[in-house]
C-alpha cells in the first residue's frame, strides 16, 4: 500500500526535527490494531475537526526510522536488515509506540547479530538500555558483559559520554567487578570529564581549580555519591578525597552496606578456563566473552574470615560451588 498516495488516510504523523521533519499518512484502523499507544493517541481530542484527520507529532523519532516502522506495520516485512545503530533507534521508537512484538524481535536481532558491536560501543549501548531497563534481554546481555569486563567501559575513550542514568545503573549493582576504591576513582574521573577535558586533567593541577570547578563536580556526582559503598574504601583515603574535592561527607551513606561480588584471586580469563573445564572442553576453551557461566562471589577470606562456621554459613546450599585458595607461595589451588 502506497501510504502517501492513498487519499483515504485519516492520520497524519509528523516526525523528526529541524531539517529531518517529514509527514506520513496512515489509517487509524491499522494503527489501532497493532499498538495500545495508538489506541490511546487516536482519540477525538487529537483530531483536526476541519479536515477530519488525526495529527500526531513525534519530533524525537527520526523520519527514516519511522518510515521503516510504518512499512513494517503495513506489510509485516522483516526490517531486521539494518545497522546496529539503526536497530537501537528502532528499538527505542518501537518502545515509545508500544509495538511490543517488534521491540522483542529487535532485541533478539541485536544480541544475535551485533553482540560484538554492542561490546565495542558500551557507552552507546548502556545509555540506551539503562533508560529502558524493561528491555530485559538486551539489558541483561549488555550489563552482564560490562560487570564482568568493567575496564572495557571505564578505560574507554568515550567513557566521559556515559550519561548519569547509566552511571547510576552501574553503581546500584552488586555485580560490578571492581574494588570500591576503583569505582570511586572512576566516578571522580567521570564527574570531572563533564566540565573539563579529561586529557588535560590530572591530580596535580587541582590546585588551579576555582570554586566553580568544585561546585560543578559536586553537582555532577551528587546523585551517585550515595551509591558508593563508603565502608569498603579505606577510611583515611576516602576522607582525604572528601576534603580534597570539597565534598560534603554527609552525602555518603555511612551504614555498613554489602560488598560487591568481586574476586581478588581470579580474573575473567581464569573464570573462562574453569567454565571450559566444567564443560569438559579439551580445546577451543571459552573466552571471557563466550563464557556461558556467571560466577557469584560467596565468601572472601580477607573480608569474611577463614573459620569453618563462616564458610558453611555463606556457602552451604548455594548450588555448585568452587573453592579457590592462594598459598603463601602465591599459587592458586582449589576444586
pLDDT band at 6 (very low <50, low <70, confident <90, very high): low
Counting Cα atoms < 13 Å in the Cβ hemisphere of 263 gives 21
**Mean predicted confidence (pLDDT) in 92-108:** 93
**Mean predicted confidence (pLDDT) in 71-99:** 91
Cell numbers for 212, please give them: 566553580
pTM: 0.75
Q: What is the pLDDT of residue 199?
A: 63
- Residue that has been written with the C-alpha cell 577470606 in this structure: 301
Q: What is the pLDDT of residue 2?
A: 44
CATH class of the structural domain 1-75: alpha beta
Rounded Cα distance between 12 and 205, Å, is 56
Q: What is the pLDDT of residue 73?
A: 93
- Residue that has been written with the C-alpha cell 531486521 in this structure: 80
Give tens-digit pLDDT for 126-169.
Answer: 999 999 888 999 999 999 889 888 889 999 999 999 999 999 99
Q: What is the pLDDT of residue 1?
A: 43
The residue among 259 and 65 whose pLDDT is bigger is 65
Rounded Cα distance between 294 and 122, Å, is 19
**Percent of all residues in the chain with a pLDDT value above 70, rounded to a whole number:** 90
**Mean predicted confidence (pLDDT) in 222-242:** 91
Give tens-digit pLDDT for 246-298.
Answer: 999 888 877 777 777 666 566 667 777 888 888 888 777 877 567 777 777 77
Best CA proximity match to 3, nearest among 87, 79, 67, 95: 67
DSSP annotation of 79 reads -
pLDDT band at 4 (very low <50, low <70, confident <90, very high): very low
Residue boundaries of the structural domains of the chain: 1-75, 78-166, 178-251, 268-334
Amino acid at each position: 500500500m502506497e501510504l502517501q498516495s492513498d487519499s483515504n488516510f485519516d492520520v497524519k504523523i509528523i516526525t523528526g526535527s529541524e531539517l529531518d521533519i517529514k509527514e506520513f499518512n496512515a489509517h487509524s484502523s491499522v494503527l489501532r490494531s497493532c499498538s495500545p499507544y495508538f489506541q490511546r493517541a487516536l482519540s477525538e481530542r487529537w483530531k483536526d475537526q476541519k479536515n477530519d484527520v488525526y495529527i500526531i507529532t513525534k519530533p524525537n523519532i527520526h523520519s527514516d526510522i519511522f518510515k521503516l516502522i510504518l512499512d513494517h506495520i503495513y506489510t509485516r516485512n522483516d526490517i531486521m536488515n539494518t545497522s546496529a545503530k539503526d536497530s537501537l533507534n528502532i528499538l527505542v521508537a518501537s518502545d515509545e509506540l508500544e509495538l511490543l512484538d517488534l521491540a522483542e524481535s529487535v532485541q533478539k536481532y541485536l544480541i544475535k547479530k551485533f553482540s560484538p558491536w554492542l561490546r565495542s560501543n558500551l557507552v552507546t549501548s548502556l545509555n540506551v538500555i539503562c533508560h529502558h531497563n524493561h528491555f530485559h534481554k538486551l539489558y541483561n546481555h549488555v550489563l552482564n558483559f560490562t560487570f564482568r569486563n568493567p575496564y572495557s567501559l571505564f578505560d574507554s575513550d568515550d567513557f566521559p559520554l556515559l550519561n548519569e542514568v547509566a552511571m547510576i545503573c552501574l553503581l546500584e549493582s552488586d555485580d560490578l567487578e571492581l574494588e570500591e576504591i576503583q569505582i570511586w576513582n572512576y566516578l571522580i574521573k567521570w564527574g570531572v570529564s563533564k566540565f573539563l577535558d579529561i586529557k588535560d586533567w590530572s591530580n596535580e593541577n587541582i590546585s588551579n581549580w576555582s570554586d566553580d570547578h568544585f561546585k560543578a563536580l559536586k553537582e555532577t556526582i551528587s546523585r551517585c555519591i550515595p551509591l558508593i559503598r563508603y565502608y569498603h574504601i579505606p577510611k583515611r583515603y576516602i576522607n582525604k578525597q572528601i576534603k580534597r574535592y570539597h565534598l560534603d561527607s554527609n552525602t555518603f551513606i555511612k551504614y555498613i552496606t554489602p560488598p560487591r561480588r568481586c574476586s581478588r584471586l581470579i580474573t575473567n580469563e581464569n573464570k573462562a578456563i574453569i567454565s571450559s573445564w566444567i564443560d569438559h572442553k579439551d580445546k577451543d576453551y571459552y573466552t571471557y566473552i563466550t563464557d556461558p557461566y556467571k560466577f557469584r562471589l560467596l565468601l572472601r577470606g580477607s573480608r569474611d574470615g577463614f573459620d569453618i562456621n563462616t564458610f558453611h554459613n555463606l556457602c552451604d546450599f548455594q548450588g555448585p560451588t568452587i573453592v579457590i585458595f592462594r598459598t603463601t607461595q602465591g599459587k592458586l589451588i582449589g576444586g
